[in-house]
Amino acid sequence: MRKVSKSWGVVKALTIGLLAAGLAGGAVAQDSKVLNVYNWSDYIGPDVLKNFEKETGIKVRYDNFDSNEILHAKLVAGKTGYDIVVPSSNWAALQIAGGLFQKLDKSKLPNLKNLDPDIQAQLAKVDPGNDHLVNWLWGYTTVGINTDKVKAALGSEPMPDNVWELAFNPKYVSKLKSCGVSMLDAGSEILPAVLHYMGKDAYSTNQADYTAAAAVLKAVRPSVTLFSSSGYINDMVSGSVCLAVGWSGDISIARQRAIDTKTGQKIEALVPKNGGLIFFDSMAIPKDAANVANAHAFMNYIMRPEVHASLTNQVFYANPNKEARKFVVPEVANNPAVFPNSEQMKTMIAPKALGNDIRRLQTRIFTQFKTGR
């Protein structure tokens, strides 16, 4: 047996020590068999991660958030520990400008060829050259209702032509309070929605518009029974919320869950005549991600037509994959709440990035709204 000299033992110990010190000092181990993903809640089916892990041997740690505000704060603070995050494109615009993401290595993403050029063009507006973002799914902010309960609560009052009135006109929403009214729990969601209802630019940069929006919100505050960006799904399923300002797919999840669990609640995601607020939630790799090769493998896996289609089939959001359409089940593919038709698409409001000043204003007004001040 070869004898290990004392000096070799010292060198080895020093090397291990230095490596450990390097890691503790912020350097990152490269691509162990793990991938840390931070995504919106209720945005994936159970099979997708399992199949990816089985095929690649990469273990996925998967955490959830339910607002862009939460994700943004983590990214700005840095050292998130995540390899993939999924901001909406208008927030990603700020994060790209701030240098918080790394450029994609497109040679590792051959499935980019499957993506719809129209969606890529939308994303290129905030991510020139599509260098940082790959769309996960897209949808729109809208109004969801429990049809029977809303009809009963409105009584002789007919449904308004503009369904945003249900949420923001006291004449309607005060009647719906009795069956439960929920609003998304974020200023960046509710301010654009109320401005759009008021006929203003949803992403206005005009102070006066926000002052006017605050007054509209104040008038409906007594009728709002819940602020929620994820729990409202089950509240709709159980029947304790009859009107939600929420996200298209989440409302459709509630609809399907109510059918599957036979709660008897008839839930519908409405497509407003004057449009919903579109979002493109998109994957990106944080600057300091440790497992970059695994992140690319995951992105490429998601862009397989069958995988993107299975996301849509399970969470009722549209995918950006032109090759996936044939794998989307007909009742989802033909559901305009999931894939609005071309006329409806023309009415939809595209997302816009807002600077810090307006985002702060949104948060201030929203906090006043929530606390009833």
Could you tell me if 278 and 317 are in contact, meaning their C-beta atoms sit under 8 angstroms apart?
A: no
* Min CB(301)–ligand SPD separation in Å: 20
Binding site for ligand SPD (CB under 6 A): 40-43, 88, 141, 189, 247, 250, 279, 281
Residue closer to ligand SPD, measured from CB, 42 or 323: 42
Distance CA 127, CA 182 (A): 33
What strand order describes the sheet that includes 59-65?
Answer: 59-65, 34-40, 84-85
For the residues of 69-128, what is the DSSP string, one character each?
HHHHHHHHH-----SEE--BHHHHHHHHHTT-BPPP-GGG-GGGGGB-HHHHHHHHTTSG
The number of residues making up the chain comes to: 373
State the minimum distance, in angstroms, from the CB of residue 186 to ligand SPD. 8
**Whole-number minimum distance, CB 47 to ligand SPD, in Å?**
17
Per the structure block, which two tokens stand in for 319?
A: 């995918």
Cβ neighbours of residue 166 closer than 8 Å, sequence gap 6 or more:
143, 145, 150, 159, 160, 172, 173, 176, 243
| Shorter beta-carbon distance to ligand SPD: residue 168 or 247 | 247
| Comparison of 42 and 127: residue with beta carbon closer to ligand SPD | 42
- Closest distance of CB 196 from ligand SPD, Å: 13
Provide the β-strand partners of residue 36: 61
Rank residues 130 and 252 by Cβ distance to ligand SPD and give the closer one: 252
Which C-beta is closer to ligand SPD: that of 248 or that of 294? 248
Residues contacting residue 12 through CB under 8 Å, at least 6 positions apart: none
Comparing CB distances to ligand SPD, the nearer of 108 and 370 is: 370
CB of 279 to ligand SPD, least distance (A): 4
Residues 372, 156: Cα–Cα separation, whole Å:
30
Amino acid present at 305 = P
The minimum distance between CB 156 and ligand SPD, in angstroms, equals 35
Based on CB atoms, which residue is closest to ligand SPD, 42 or 185?
A: 42
What letter would DSSP give residue 129? G
Phi and psi at 84, nearest 5°, equal: -135, 135
Q: How far is the CB of 13 from ligand SPD (least distance, A)?
A: 49
Least distance to ligand SPD from the beta carbon of 247, Å?
A: 5
Decide whether 96 or 153 has the Cβ nearer to ligand SPD.
96
Contacts of 152 (CB under 8 A, 6+ apart): 179
